[in-house]
Structure formats: C-alpha cells, structure tokens
C-alpha cells in the first residue's frame, strides 16, 4: 500500500502558527484512535495530529511475523491513509512543550497552539543501553521482534537453526507488551518441536523480572509450556552486553539476598528485547512525572497539573499494561474527556486499567491474559466461552483474524466496538 492509495488529508502548515481546538502529539495507535473518536463525536472542531513518520505499523503483528504466521507487509500501512477525515496531519516531530502557553514546538522550527493537548508519543526503545547490541542486530544470530525490519530475521533464524543455544531475553519493566518476549520463544520452540529438533536446541529465558508474568493467575498455564519445551528459566537475569562476533551474551544476575553476579553465555540465536523509557522530549518537559512518563490521573488520564492536557498509550504514567488493547479502551475515555474540557466541564469518563496480552504459547493456541489495575482480572468474554487462564484455539483466532481487523477498521477509525467509555460514578 503506497501513499497514492488514498486521497491526501488536509495537510496543515505549522509555520502559519495555527491554533487548534485539539492537538494530538503522535500518530500511532493511541493518537489516531483518539483523534478519530473525537471527530466521530463532534465534527467541525479543529484537530491536528503531529507525526513525523509516513508509515504506520501494527506492532502486535510483529510477533506473528517472527513466528512465520504473518508477512511483514501485513503490519505496515501509509500514515496518510489513516489520518481521520477532518484532521490535519502535521508531518513533523514535537521538540518541546510549553503547557503554560498552550504551545508545542516542532522539528521544523515552528510552533503550534492548542486549546486541549493529547500526548500519545509512545515510548523509546533504548537499544544503546545494552553494550554491543546495535552493532550486531540483524546478523550473527541476534534479532528482535520489537523492530519491523528484524522480525523476518527472527523467523529465518528459527527455520535455519538445527542445534545449539537459543536465548530469549526480557529487560526490566516497564516495557510495551510484557508478554512479547515470551511469545517469540514459545512460537520458536513449537516450530522446533514440530521439526523434531527439540532435543538439539537448548532454550533459555533470561528475564530481569522476579517472576514469569506479572499477574499470578496466568502463570500456571505458562509454566506448563516452560516445562513442555524444557526451557531454562532464569529470573532476575538482565542482558547487559552482546558480543555478536563471538556470539556471547553477558547477564547481570541478582540472587535472593541481592548479591549481583555476572555470567557469560554462548548463543547460536539471541532474541533481544531492549530496555524502554519515555522519549527525551517528554522526560525533559514540564509534562513529565515519575520515571519521565507523562504525569496523569490513572482514571481520567488528565494531567495532574494541566487541566487541558491528557495522555494515553505507552507514554502515560499509569500502571496498566502497555498494549494496543489498553489503548483501545483508553481512547474513548480521553475523547469524551477532551470534549468535556473544551466545553469547560469536568471529566465525564474513567479508565479501569484494562490491558490484554495474547500469549502465543504454540501455533494455534493462546493464553489470553486480560487484566486491569492491580492485576484484577477483566475478561471481555464469559469464561464458559473463553477461559483466559488456559490456552485456547479461539484466542488464537482472535489474535490472527479478529484483532488485526479490529485495529485497522475499528479502533483507528474511532469505531468503539465493546469499548464504550465508562461514565464516572456509574456501576461497571
């Protein structure tokens, strides 16, 4: 799909110093969904989306690219094609914020003014935080499903590896889609098992976290697959260095008493998930709170200091899982609260921390983890139809067929299927 596939949206020139009713910083899943939800509710208001990239990526699909299920091209579309009707696309990056003056500064040297600001920049993948990683990514058996260009290499390695050591890593939290590091591993193990190679490949999972998964109810099902695939599970083990030429990974390990040790492990395949942080433009701005994330009320997603600023998605300083499923629920909440703010009214909707992680434990089966703030289980479907604590084929079908369609043709277009914003003060 190319930029010529659709008529161009109304591209504004920020050099004009325009003022918009709503400025959305970020044209990813969170930004587009929120802008579309706002405009579906109230046409005629002025909305600008600040996004430098000409491509938009369905990032949840990269796990399936790395597992040989999706083609790389299925996860990429033209950004221009996805800009909602009625919104202006400002193809630039935000370089600074002046919330006291309602200003966003842009990479082209100009600025844009807003009445209400929605921050949806996403987060930064910190590849440089692991010594030697950048120099060897995409070769020497080092890959990651966290990059569009590398996910096909993951599947190439899975197909060509016949014996040796395969290492999968997970950095300290928070990260986007905390189950993704495991998904890559389970799909690889399933492929090797089906080819009769399970006894030839030693698989280990090094995670910096103290447990396999953050919500205990889903751990038993995952542990069954850890044992089935004979995976060497290493908790509190953080990747700190990669020597691609010699194929050696260095880990810092924390013992129960807090003692730290360093170990080196040879590998034939290394799937890396990088540490992740708030973007510098947010960390160094007045919007930043703890950890550099945008400081917001976890329920209304309104900034804790600036009443006309909201944030959602990966950059929001909330404790929910950073997933597309969370964005799907957050966007309608932010949309109605933005409109209330434009009307000089208090917030009208709240968010319960819902997030979902479809854990692909084998090709054709998924453990669908759905939970809210505090790890409270929040299943969408009744358990008699889909028990999220067990691997099911129905969950796989949702992941492979329903969720991509829901993403492209539902949430990005402001169609709020089963995610109507919850009104503050009413029963859930």
Average pLDDT over residues 335-360: 98
| pLDDT surpasses 50 at 211 | yes
Contact of 362 with 225, CB cutoff 8 Å? yes
Residue 169, beta-bridge partner list: 206
| pLDDT surpasses 80 at 17 | no
| Every domain range in the chain assigned CATH 3.50.50.60 | 19-123+278-352+398-421, 127-276
pLDDT tier for residue 6 given thresholds of 50, 70 and 90: very low
Distance CA 10, CA 28 (A): 18
Residue 195, beta-bridge partner list: none
Which tokens belong to 216? 């205990």
CA torsion sign for 2, 68, 165, 256 is positive
Average pLDDT over residues 60-77: 98
Enumerate helices (H) and strands (E) in the chain, giving the number of each. 11, 23
φ/ψ (deg, to 5) at 397: -60, -40
pLDDT in tens, 105-153: 999 999 999 999 999 999 999 999 999 999 999 999 999 999 999 999 9
- Average pLDDT of the chain is 95
Instruction: Confirm whether 189 is a catalytic residue.
Output: no
| pLDDT surpasses 70 at 4 | no
Point out the catalytic residue in the list 357, 359, 369, 398: 357
pLDDT tier for residue 323 given thresholds of 50, 70 and 90: very high
| pLDDT surpasses 90 at 7 | no
pLDDT tier for residue 223 given thresholds of 50, 70 and 90: very high
pLDDT tier for residue 355 given thresholds of 50, 70 and 90: very high
Nearest to 324 by CA among 382, 217, 396, 406: 406
Distance CA 291, CA 175 (A): 13
pLDDT of residue 14: 42
CATH topology of domain 19-123+278-352+398-421: FAD/NAD(P)-binding domain (3.50.50)
pLDDT of residue 350: 98
pLDDT of residue 8: 35
Antiparallel, parallel or unpaired: β 94-98 and 248-254? unpaired
pLDDT of residue 20: 98
Which tokens belong to 328? 């799907």
Point out the catalytic residue in the list 38, 47, 177, 369: 177
SS3 415: coil
Give ∠ CA 273-188-201 in degrees, rounded to 5. Answer: 105
Average pLDDT over residues 217-233: 98
| pLDDT surpasses 50 at 90 | yes
The model's pTM is: 0.94
CATH topology of domain 127-276: FAD/NAD(P)-binding domain (3.50.50)
């Amino acid at each position: 799909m190319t930029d010529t596939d659709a008529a161009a949206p109304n591209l504004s020139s920020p050099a004009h110093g325009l003022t918009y009713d709503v400025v959305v910083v970020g044209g990813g899943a969170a930004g587009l969904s929120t802008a579309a939800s706002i405009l579906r509710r109230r046409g005629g208001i002025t909305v600008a989306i600040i996004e430098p990239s000409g491509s938009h990526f369905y990032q949840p699909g990269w796990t399936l690219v790395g597992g040989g299920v999706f083609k790389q091209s299925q996860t990429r579309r033209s950004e221009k094609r996805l800009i909602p009707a009625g919104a202006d696309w400002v193809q630039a990056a935000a370089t600074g914020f002046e919330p006291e003056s309602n200003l966003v500064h842009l990479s082209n040297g100009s600025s844009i003014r807003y009445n209400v600001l929605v921050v949806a920049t996403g987060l930064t993948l910190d590849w440089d935080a692991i010594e030697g990683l950048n120099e060897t990514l995409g070769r020497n058996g080092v890959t990651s499903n966290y990059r569009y260009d590398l996910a096909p290499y993951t599947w190439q390695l899975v197909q060509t590896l016949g014996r040796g050591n395969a290492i999968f890593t997970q950095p300290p939290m928070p990260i986007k889609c905390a189950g993704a590091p495991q998904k890559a591993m389970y799909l690889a193990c399933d492929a090797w098992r089906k080819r009769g190679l399970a006894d030839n490949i030693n698989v280990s999972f090094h995670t910096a976290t103290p447990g396999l998964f953050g919500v205990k109810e889903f751990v038993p099902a995952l542990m069954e697959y850890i044992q089935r695939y004979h995976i060497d599970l290493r908790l509190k083990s953080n990747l700190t260095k990669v020597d691609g030429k010699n194929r050696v990974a260095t880990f810092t390990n924390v013992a129960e008493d807090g003692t730290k040790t360093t170990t080196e492990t040879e590998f034939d395949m290394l799937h890396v998930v990088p540490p992740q942080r708030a973007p510098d433009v947010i960390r160094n701005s007045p919007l930043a709170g703890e950890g550099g994330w945008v400081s917001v009320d976890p329920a209304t997603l309104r900034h804790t200091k600036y009443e006309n600023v909201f944030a959602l998605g990966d950059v929001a300083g909330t404790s929910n899982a950073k997933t597309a499923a969370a964005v799907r629920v957050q966007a309608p909440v932010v949309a109605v609260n933005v409109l209330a703010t434009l009307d000089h009214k208090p917030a009208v909707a709240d968010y319960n921390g819902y997030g979902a992680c479809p854990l692909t434990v084998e090709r054709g089966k998924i453990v669908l983890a759905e939970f809210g703030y505090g790890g409270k289980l929040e299943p969408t479907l009744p358990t008699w139809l889909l028990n999220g604590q067990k691997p099911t084929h129905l969950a796989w079908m949702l992941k492979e067929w329903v969720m991509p369609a829901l993403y492209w043709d539902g949430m990005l277009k402001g169609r709020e299927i089963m995610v109507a914003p919850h009104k503050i003060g009413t029963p859930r």
